[in-house]
Every structure is written in C-alpha cells, then in structure tokens.
Structure 1
Amino acid sequence: MSRRGRASLALVILAAALVLSLGLAVSVGSMAIPMGDVYRVMAYELFGLGDSSTWGSGGVHDVVWLIRLPRLVLAAATGAGLGLCGAVMQAMVQNTMADPYILGVSSGAYLGAALALTAGAGTALGGNAMGLAGAVGAFLAAAAVLLLARLGGRSTPVKLLLSGVALSAVCSALGNFCIVLENDDHAAAALVQWTMGGMGAASWPGNAIACGVVISGGLFFWSQYRTLNLMLLGDECAGTLGVELSAKRLIYLLVVAAMVGVLVYQAGMVGFVGLIIPHGVRLLFGSDHRTLLPLAALTGAVFLVWMDVLCRVVLPGNEIPMGILTALVGAPVFLALLARRRYGFGGEV
C-alpha cells in the first residue's frame, strides 16, 4: 500500500478510535458505568432517544453528561489543537523542536496568569481570571514576537526563534517577580496548578468554543498545506518558485496563538503533545501536510482522551495534573523517535 493509502486508512481508524475512546473512557473511573448506559445517555441528550426519567436525570446521567464527557471532549479538542499547531509551528520555523508553546507563547500565558493573581485583575475578570488572562497573555506574546522579528527587515525562522527565546525569558522573569512581590503561598500554588494543565473546569459552553476554534483553525491550515510544504524547503527555495513566505508565516503564527490562547483558557498549559504527536505522525506517514495535519489532530485527540483517564484513575481519590503525565509519557516516546536513524524533518512530501 502506498504512503498516501496508508494515511487514508489511518484517518479512518483514528476517527473510529476517537469515537470509541470517548465512550469507553466515560465508563472508566471511580464509579464504573457500563458502556451501554453511557451510549444511552448520549443518545438521549443528543437525539432525544430513550426514557427521560431513566436517561435524562439521575446519578448515571450526571456523571456521564455533566462530569466525565465534557472533560473528555475538552481533552480531545485540546489534543487535536495542540497536534495541529505543533505540526504548523515545526514547518514555520523549520525546527523539529518547535511546539505550540514556542516563541514566548507559554511564557506570555504564564505572565498573564500571574498578573491576574497578583495585580488585582482577578477581581475584574471573575472566576476565570487566570485562564482568560493567560489566553490574552499568550496572544500578546505572539504578537510581540512578530514585531521583534520584523525589526531590521522581514521576519525569518531564525529571527522568530531568537525573538521568542528572548521574550520568553522576560515574560517568565516578570511572572516570577509578580509572585515574589505578592508573597502569597496560595496564589503561587494556584498558578503552579494551572500551569500543569487539567480538564477539571470543562463545561459544554466552553467546549463549544474550543471545538469551534480548533475545527476552524484546522480547516484553515489544511487549506494551506501547499504553503506549509514549501516552508519545509526554506525561504530561498520558495522564493525561486515565486512564493513569499514571510507574510504567510506571520498570519500562521497569529492563528496558532489564537488557538493556543483559547486552549490555555480552557485547559491550562499541557506540554509535550504538540512536540511528540507531529514527530510520530511524520515518522510513519511523511511530511505532506495534506495528510499530516488531520492525522496529527486525531492522534493528539485520542492521546489526550486517555491521558485524562489516567489522570483520574492512577491515584484513587486524587487527580494528577495533565502536564505531569504527558511529560512522563511524552519524554520516553520522544527519545525513542530520536533514536530512529532514518528519521528526518523534511521527510517525503
């Protein structure tokens, strides 16, 4: 079977795996629920099928529809968004170490959350102060990197990386300085908890926004797969073909920052997903973004669904922050990918 044929088959398998994973993952937890009951509750809520007194209320309904399924849907959206953004970022800066939080985005989110905790912004923003301020900080940091990268001429991958490293250091230092000035152990603990990520704050209205942003961003980037493929070849090569990548790179970074900002607001900062998922998909199916993007999205979605399950069940009565498990699982996988001798960034386009 050709590489493209294998990719098409993998898309079908992953889509089916995501649907099955959602149903199975909902049934797993401190309160075991038969999968049949899970699908009956979902059928009632989505299509009005079944007895309302049995499947429209009660303990099983509340656990399935109000607690577990919302967080799993958010996990799927977050995994898909980070997988997409990771693949795009790696093409933009031509660097296998790029992920959605590169270029100061994560540090900008950290600074925004720190300001919300320590500068009185939380009172104005309400209960979602940290998440909202983190999302705004992520987007503003990306915009600042764009401005810095354009100083002295057009932006290049190297200038974007260097600007991101510099701004990241500044934002991290300012965020830490805010915590030191506040001298509040509770604020520091809340900030650390948020930076490790988690799906505990999931809700259906929030999920609708996250899913809408991820789907819209995914369709946009999929329509740009030819340009993303050219980015792997470099600006000079693309220039000989009559394509100017500098302006495209700026647009893509703003879209990535907007997507990451929404996901940061909903789920905090979840690391390693945007790094290892594109690596693994590229290794198996090549670097053609026409197939790489949807495969990375579906793989990231399935991966985070099961990471959320592990977060809930590994320590009975306690929930592990998502970022801890993704790092523990992601780091060995990343090292295994690096050990593959034939692995290369450009791959087969």
Structure 2
Amino acid sequence: MINPIPKHLRKDKQQRYKLLMVALVVILLLSITLAVMIGPVPISPLRVWQIALSQVFPNIKGDWTQAQVQIVWLIRFPRVLLAFFVGAGLSVVGVTMQALVRNPLADPFIFGISSGASVGAVLAILFGFFSFFGVYALSFGAFLGALLAFVVVFFLARRQGRLFPTRLILIGVAVSYMFEAITSFLALKAGSGEATQGVLFWLLGGLSGTKWPDLILPVLALLVGCSYLLLQTRSLNALLIGEETARTLGIDTDSFRKQLFFVTSLLTGVIVAVSGVIGFVGLMIPHSVRFLVGSDHNRVLPV
C-alpha cells in the first residue's frame, strides 16, 4: 500500500510553490523594467513606471518630455510585452507537445507546425494572399499554414484509426523539412530582391517595430489557448504517464490529441506571424519549469 504524503510536507510544498510564483512575478517585473530602460536613450526605472502609469491614469503628471513618452510607451513597452507573450505562448506549446507525444525533445518545430506557419506567412508577404483580412492577413496566413501542417501530419500519422507518438514524431520531422523547402523555394522565386530580403529578415525572427495593436491577436490567442489547457491539466497528466492510463481514466486519447493539435496550431500560427521563427524557447523553458516545480501540469502551465 502506498502511504499518502504527510500533511506537513504537502503544506510545505504548497508554500514553496507560492513563494516561487511570487519570486517569478518579481523577476518578470524587474526584467520588463530593465528591458524598457536599456537603449540608446537610457531612462531610469522610476521614470519608466511613472510614464507607464500616466498613460493608464491620465491624472498622473510629471516633468518627463514627450520624446521620453514616445520611447517608453510607444516603442519599448509594446516590444517588451510582445516578447513576454511570445515566450509564454511558445513555452505553453512546448509543454503541450511534450505531453502529447511523451517525448522531452518535442517542441513546436517537431510537427512542422512552425514551418507550416512560415509558408502561410511568406505567401501573405510575397504574394498578398489573404489581403482581404487587412492588418491580420499575416496572422491568418500563418495560422492557416500551421493548420495545414497539422492536418497533413495528423492524417499521415494515423494508423488503424489511432495516433502513435513515435509515428507522429517521424512524420512531423519529415513534414517540417518539406515546408521549410517550400518556404525557401518561395523566397527564391520572389519577384524582387527587396521582397526576398523582407522574407529572410522576417524568418530570422524579431520584435522590432512592434506597436500596441500588434498585441491584440497574440494576447487573445494566448488567453483562449491557456484557458483551455488549464482546464485539461488532469488529462495532460494522464497522457504524460501513458496512453493506457489515460484511457483507464476515461479519456478519449484520439479526440484529446486532435484538440491539442488544433490549440497548438492556433497558438503557433499567431505567434509565428508576429515574431517570425524563434527556436528553442518551446524546448528549453518546459524543462526549466519542471526542474523547479515537478511535472504536474497544474503547476507547470501557470509557471
């Protein structure tokens, strides 16, 4: 018989988790402050938050210049916050992927989702596809490309009506290379050198030139995706242990995998659209978090 964890140990563990969350929030705020401070025009941390609060609460007045307001509020803050949301989104996708295939090396690139999103985004940049969506053409193209990659991997990986993790990984890697080749071909066939240069610059990944409206779609996608995943932590834990265990607990593993595929495609497509292809975040952050709080998704996802 397995002895339950003593109450005092369980309480200590909960307290450590709460302290860790507080420490991480403090580190996050310090990181945001430091990132906004640093630049060709250095600005003190106090001035950074005075300017930020004055934009939220107009009754706050100060002796800062209009140039400082533009630098802090219109240039640096949107870029730093987008970096936070992009990192959070890729980390959540990485955690989900690793539970999905029970492989610690899984990340958004392993199923070709990032590569598929790149193809959709490049089509929008070079040839004006999805232009009827206006400013969201790039995001829609990336999401559609990610969804296409998901569909291809999903149908090729099915065998006898079931999805097998090893088969998913192998086919995902193959599809990823295929979409990367398509992206390179499209970039080479672009009509002008300027367009090709723009695509290559975008593929390198970056957050320069971010404006406040650019945050709307990533934030909404992250809220929807994370809300769904937080409701599915029990199923993710069961899937991480094993497929048979998950089925014993009454989880329809095939249906659940489809849902996870769709959510990760949505998040990856939106993130790639605003930031370009950024690697290793979805691979490394989940491992760092598990080192701190263990493998329980009830704790991993919030961190």
TM-score by length of 1: 0.77
1:315 is aligned to none
Unaligned 5+ residue runs, structure 1?
296-349
Distance between the aligned counterparts of 1:254 and 1:3, measured in 2? Answer: 34
Distance between the aligned counterparts of 2:195 and 2:300, measured in 1? Answer: 40
Picking from 23, 31, 39, the partner of 1:29 is 39
Q: Does residue 236 of the first structure (1) align with residue 253 of the second (2)?
A: no
The total of aligned residue pairs comes to 293
Unaligned 5+ residue runs, structure 2?
1-8
Pairwise CA distance, 1:126: 6.2
Pairwise CA distance, 1:184: 4.4
2:61 is aligned to 51
AA partner of residue 53 (structure 2)? A
Q: Is the 8 A contact 2:117 2:273 kept in 1?
A: no
1:335 is aligned to none
Q: Does residue 274 of the first structure (1) align with residue 294 of the second (2)?
A: no
Pairwise CA distance, 1:236: 1.8
Q: Is the 8 A contact 2:93 2:264 kept in 1?
A: yes
Q: Is the 8 A contact 2:187 2:200 kept in 1?
A: no
Pairwise CA distance, 1:20: 2.8
State the Cα deviation string for residues 54-104 of structure 1 (Å, max 9, x = none).
Answer: 55x710100011000000110111111111111111111111111123211
Distance between the aligned counterparts of 1:240 and 1:224, measured in 2? Answer: 16
For 1:189-268, list aligned pairs within 5 A. Answer: 189-268=197-276
AA partner of residue 230 (structure 1)? A
Distance 1:212 1:114, change over 3 A: closer
* Higher mean C-alpha deviation, range 86-95 or range 19-28: 19-28
Q: Does residue 182 of the first structure (1) align with residue 190 of the second (2)?
A: yes
Picking from 146, 164, 179, the partner of 1:138 is 146
Q: Is the 8 A contact 2:117 2:268 kept in 1?
A: no
Pairwise CA distance, 1:227: 0.6
Distance between the aligned counterparts of 1:166 and 1:182, measured in 2? Answer: 25
Q: Is the 8 A contact 1:6 1:285 kept in 2?
A: no
Picking from 163, 172, 176, the partner of 1:164 is 172
CA RMSD in angstroms, aligned pairs only: 2.3
Pairwise CA distance, 1:165: 2.0
Distance between the aligned counterparts of 1:126 and 1:209, measured in 2? Answer: 13
% same residue = 38
Q: Is the 8 A contact 2:114 2:268 kept in 1?
A: no
State the Cα deviation string for residues 284-308 of structure 1 (Å, max 9, x = none).
Answer: 221000001111xxxxxxxxxxxxx
AA partner of residue 290 (structure 1)? N
TM-score by length of 2: 0.87
AA partner of residue 227 (structure 2)? L
Distance between the aligned counterparts of 1:212 and 1:127, measured in 2? Answer: 16
Picking from 7, 15, 21, the partner of 1:5 is 15
What SS does structure 1 have at the residue aligned with 2:258? Answer: helix
Pairwise CA distance, 1:262: 1.2
For 1:87-106, list aligned pairs within 5 A. Answer: 87-106=95-114
Pairwise CA distance, 1:244: 2.2
Q: Is the 8 A contact 2:150 2:265 kept in 1?
A: yes
Pairwise CA distance, 1:105: 0.7
